[in-house]
Amino acid sequence: MNNLKISTLSKGVLLLVMVLLVSSIFVPMWRIELSAPQYPEGLVLKLHADKIAGDVDIINGLNHYIGMKTLHKEDFFEFTVLPYIFVFFGVFALATALIAKKKVLYILFVSLVLFGVLAAVDFYRWNYEYGHNLDPNAAIQVPGMSYQPPLIGYKQLLNFGAYSIPDIGGWLLVVSGFLLFIIVVRESNLLQKFRKAKTATVLLFLLSLSFLSCSNNTKAVPIKLNVDNCDFCKMSIADGKYGAEVLTEKGRTYKFDDIMCMMNYCNENLNTKISAYYVNDFAQDNVLIPASSAHFISGGTIESPMRGGVIAFLSENNAKEFATKLDAKRIAWNTILKK
């Protein structure tokens, strides 16, 4: 019968899970950050278990112009029930530690996972309804446009960038679920099964897929000539040989008509964390290449759109050829970064 009981260590972890679950009620669960040129410091919407906080009044004013419903706590039954749900799971974790049976532990873990899935579905439904059910008499109407914020991650909505991530309370729930997963694995002896060679191979394969999926987050976004504007000088990007762009760690893309526009933007926005730099290959038409592997020339008779005087090449031979033709000098990417 002892093999049906959970260990003392697992009981201690369950008590910690209880504290984390109950603590999540008193801090923001989720946050949606909005950024736009007219709001350089950004706007933040904070979703607690029992209320909406942050720049609610400003965001409601913006929503009114584009036909979205304004946000009010009273419109969401979730704010009434969520605190009780978290208390229930906290008590459930405490009871599991006291009863100390593996079967109860498994029920707790599965129940919390199901709750997380249902909460994600409900949050998506909430975002969808608010982003698609627009007032037909709104002051600003863009045919075919919807304003559904992302469930998680980044999304461009007109001139606003929306970034949706867990806040402190959300991370407390994530940690709670992770700790429960760890003790479920420990108490069910799943680790012994994972030691088999075939299982290890499968895990390595899945891990490699996760790395590949992560690498896609830094993929260049093609520049739409005569449609996209430079995020520094605000001019239309018309020439597909001089352009550049950066991708931030939050997943946002900034595009530029001149390499030096990109560098000037980065120098003026030092708090923006860049994950990747891209530049156009001058020898091709509107083809972005990683800046770290490009070959650059500067000065001479180079006439870039904003007189930045720097162009890039995928081929070193092309860089040498154009350097001679344009009376320009080779310059390293690290040197450009320091300008």
Q: Give the pLDDT of residue 197.
A: 47
For residues 249 and 193, membership in a common domain is answered with no
Using the predicted structure, report yes or no on whether residue 62 has a pLDDT greater than 90. Answer: no
Question: Does residue 238 belong to any structural domain of this protein?
Answer: no
> Which ranges of the chain does DSSP label H, i.e. alpha helix?
8-23, 56-66, 78-99, 102-132, 168-188, 190-194, 197-215, 259-268, 316-325, 333-337
For residues 147 and 278, membership in a common domain is answered with no
Question: Does residue 224 belong to any structural domain of this protein?
Answer: no
Question: Does residue 225 belong to any structural domain of this protein?
Answer: no
For residues 53 and 172, membership in a common domain is answered with yes
Average pLDDT of every residue of the chain: 87
Mean pLDDT for the stretch of residues 68-87: 92
Question: Does residue 36 belong to any structural domain of this protein?
Answer: yes
For residues 192 and 254, membership in a common domain is answered with no
Query: Using CB atoms within 10 A of its CB, is residue 27 exposed (0-12), middle (13-18) or buried (19+)?
Result: middle
Domain of residue 77 covers: 2-198
Q: Give the pLDDT of residue 202.
A: 54
Question: Does residue 189 belong to any structural domain of this protein?
Answer: yes
For residues 166 and 280, membership in a common domain is answered with no
Counting the structural domains of the chain, the total is 2
CA gap 93, 184 in Å, rounded: 13
> What is the CATH classification number for the domain harbouring 153?
1.20.140
Task: Give per-residue pLDDT as tens, 225-271.
Answer: 988 889 888 888 999 899 999 998 877 889 999 999 999 988 888 77
Using the predicted structure, report yes or no on whether residue 212 has a pLDDT greater than 90. Answer: no
For residues 46 and 189, membership in a common domain is answered with yes
For residues 64 and 133, membership in a common domain is answered with yes
Q: Give the pLDDT of residue 169.
A: 94
For residues 122 and 36, membership in a common domain is answered with yes
Q: CB neighbours of 137 closer than 8 A, spacing ≥ 6?
A: 67
For residues 53 and 136, membership in a common domain is answered with yes
Question: Does residue 76 belong to any structural domain of this protein?
Answer: yes
Dihedrals phi, psi of 193, to nearest 5 degrees? -70, -35
Question: Does residue 325 belong to any structural domain of this protein?
Answer: yes
Q: Give the pLDDT of residue 196.
A: 53
CA gap 3, 49 in Å, rounded: 38
Mean pLDDT for the stretch of residues 145-158: 84
Dihedrals phi, psi of 314, to nearest 5 degrees? -75, -40
3-class secondary structure, 246: strand
Query: Using CB atoms within 10 A of its CB, is residue 121 exposed (0-12), middle (13-18) or buried (19+)?
Result: exposed
For residues 259 and 183, membership in a common domain is answered with no
Question: Does residue 28 belong to any structural domain of this protein?
Answer: yes
Lowest mean pLDDT among 24-28, 178-182, 245-249: 245-249
* Length of the chain (residues): 339
